[in-house]
Amino acid sequence: MNDQMPTFVRYEQGETPDDWDLEDKIFTQDKSYKCPTYIQKTAPCSGSCPSGHDIRGWLAIARGMDKSPVEGQAWQEYAFAKMTEANPFPASMGRVCPAPCESGCNRNEVDDYVGINAVEQYVGDWANENNLKLAEVGAATGRKIAVIGGGPAGLSAAYFLRRAGHEVVLYDANNKLGGMMRYGIPGYRTPRDMLDIEIGRITEMGVEVHLNTTVGKDVAIDTLEANYDAIFWALGAQKGRPLPIPGWEGTENCIDGVEFLDAFNKGWVVGTAQKVVVVGGGDTSIDVASVARRLGHVTNVAKTEHSDGSVIDFTAQDTAGVLSREGMQATLTSLFPIEQMTAAEHEREDAKREGVDIRGSVMPLEVIKDETGKAIALKCCECDMKGNAPVPREGTEFEIEADIIISAIGQAGDFEGLEAFDNGRGFIDTDAGYTVKGHAKHFAGGDIIKPHLLTTAIGHGRVAAATITDFLDDGEIEKRPTIDLHQFNLLEELHARGKEPSAYDHQPTRGTDSEDFAVHNFDNRSDSQIVKHTELYKGHFPYEAREVRDEVHIEGDNVLGNFEERIIAYTEEQAQKEGERCMSCGMCFECDNCVIYCPQDAVSRVKKSDRTVGRYVETDYSKCIGCHICADVCPTGYIKMGLGA
């Protein structure tokens, strides 16, 4: 929390006009030749959201400012429709997204960020409980697109392509859709019944799905190119990276974190060894260590079979009779100090509470084996980081006993049968708009171009779908905006409420402030500008504590065998209160400050029958003297001073 009181002072005591910015020197006493204009900019929460949410928009719905144009529609349904304009997985992302939007939230400069992630989860859960559907499928275009991979990027692309009216055929190598959401994240973080509902909404839009089908093996690339107008590659990064240390390669009980989680989530892992060491430091390594801790330990481990180091063939039948559950030890090491680990802080704290031993500034050196060739320990040393390179500290070597060593240091794609798309580093290279370099009508997104967040992959799918639609129109792809999000559109808002401007008669007129064919003195700069906290009148906002989601905290051995969800969702009241904490950066939130403080009574509310979001106040420019007071007291930074007559 920011301990300083949120105050605002335009001029510091003792300043003279010589100290002012050039922009302020336009004043003659309290007058200037500027008048208020209304400038829509992107809120930093949305600017930080990889999926492209209009976060400010659905928080305005939660607090009751933006009411649905559909009579009797619940606010949650309206908010869900707004959310799914950018992201069809609000319940899932409300649980697992590390919420960069909250780090970017301007309210951090007042007291504490808005609980955006928790509101998203609440609305997503409400939608699931009330069987809400996604938007209608667009008018048929006659175009057919293949989507390769049923993870977050592929499902997102399929959703937005269907909204555009294209026929979509989705291929996935697994027996269920979901990708890393299902096979790379434990069920206590993404409950499977919830995931099935969100995926089901997309397939119900008419997506043709082929499961247990590997493109490059079961379906040739030439076949795809002959039968589809465009191909979107969303393979994911399903292969973990081995530890580059002596003793790792070929050792039976040294595996990577991706294959471990994949095996667990497919039901192939019933237990693990008594002592597990996980080398990593990101959220994947946290998940691996936490799952290992929850599983308990086994006294007998079924034989594993590796295919290119990517699959553990533990089946329930193989293991059911030989595995027994007892307490076990899970140790997680990271090259970085604990406080600098890339895993989100709350994930680290949860893992520690659940009994995972987390050790920072530890560099693995060698796998120690017994006479049978099995790993029995990991030799390490303490280290310091120079950039991303570890520097060992001499004389600090030590060993950590281990029955299994798991590498969670990175991921790459599996290009068997798809070698032409491999950039040599295990990924696909793309240009702007996610077009695949050197391959006409091929597009790619998600972890296969760069492993990142699930919400990032969802954003890739959204943008790629728009790019594919653009490409199919005329073969050309227009440049995407700098800030490529789903944005509030004032003209669409006016149209939805039957208040659009009248037709322009193309006759000369002096000014547009009294005309009804134009939206006067409004400019949408949200595709290129993000509103900074310094543009806000932060003194408007009193301290208000954030609503905190409860969590089920499990201590020590009580975690064994417990795979229940640990996040407790907001109540409706909590979700609405967090909506009220949103500062609506870059968009009017109808506070009346400009109306109250204008010394000339030049600013007034728009007639109630004509009001919409973004059109709440208007200025009588015959009264305005350009004093800037309305802009100074605008809490959201929506009012700017522009040149007037």
Burial label, 9 (beta-carbon count in 10 A; 0-12, 13-18, 19+)? exposed
Assess contact for 145 and 167: CB atoms under 8 A. Answer: yes
Which pTM value belongs to this model?
A: 0.82
Give 628-637 pLDDT, tens digit per residue: 999 999 999 9
pLDDT of residue 224: 96
565-592: per-residue pLDDT in tens?
A: 778 899 999 999 999 999 999 999 999 9
Asked if residue 158 lies in contact with residue 207, where contact means CB atoms within 8 angstroms, the answer is yes
In 3-state terms, what secondary structure has residue 577?
Answer: helix
Q: Which helix (H) or strand (E) holds 200?
A: helix 192-203
Q: Looking at residue 564, what is its pLDDT? A: 72
Strands (E), 89-227: 144-148, 167-171, 208-210
Bridge partners for 272 per DSSP: 297
- Range name among 296-300, 365-369, 496-500, 551-555 with the lowest pLDDT average: 296-300
Q: Could you report the per-residue pLDDT of 510-551, keeping only the tens digit for each? A: 777 777 888 878 899 999 898 988 899 999 999 999 999 887
Q: What is the pLDDT of residues 393-443, one digit of tens each?
A: 999 999 999 988 888 887 888 888 899 999 988 899 999 889 999 999 999
Pick left, alpha or beta for residue 372 (phi over 0 → left; psi -120 to 50 → alpha; otherwise beta). Answer: alpha
The more confidently predicted of residues 305 and 395 is 395
**What's the pLDDT tens digit per position in 63-111?**
999 999 999 999 999 999 999 999 999 999 999 888 888 888 889 888 8
- Mean pLDDT, rounded, of the chain: 83
Among 4-8, 252-256, 483-487, 537-541, whose mean pLDDT is lowest? 4-8
Q: So what's the pLDDT on residue 347?
A: 65
For the chain, domain boundaries: 144-238+413-474, 241-409
Q: Crossing angle, helix 283-295 and helix 345-353, to 10 degrees?
A: 20
DSSP-based helix, strand, coil % in the chain, nearest 5: 30, 15, 50
pLDDT above 70 covers a percentage of the chain that reads 83
Is the pLDDT at 271 greater than 60, yes or no? no
Q: What are phi and psi of 357, to 5 degrees?
A: -85, 110
- What are the phi and psi torsion angles at 351 (to 5°)? -65, -40
Q: What residue has token string 């007639």?
A: 607
pLDDT number for residue 228 = 97
Counting residues of the chain whose pLDDT is more than 90, the rounded percentage is: 48
pLDDT for the residue 169 = 98
Q: Name which of 67, 367, 430, 77 is nearest 231 in CA terms.
A: 430
Domains 144-238+413-474 and 241-409 share a fold: yes
Give the E-state strand segments of 519-633 in sequence order: 522-524, 603-605, 617-619
> What is the pLDDT, as a whole number, of residue 29?
61
Domain covering 144-238+413-474 assigned CATH 3.50.50.60 in the classification: yes
The pLDDT value given to residue 274: 76
What Rg do the C-alpha atoms of the chain give, in angstroms? Answer: 28
For residues 253 and 127, the model is more confident at 127
The CA distance from 614 to 634, in Å, is: 13
pLDDT of 3 reads 52
* 201-204 contacts, C-beta under 8 A, 24 or more apart: 201/88, 201/133, 201/134, 202/88, 202/134, 202/155, 202/158, 202/159, 202/162, 203/177, 204/133, 204/134
Structural class in CATH, domain 241-409: alpha beta
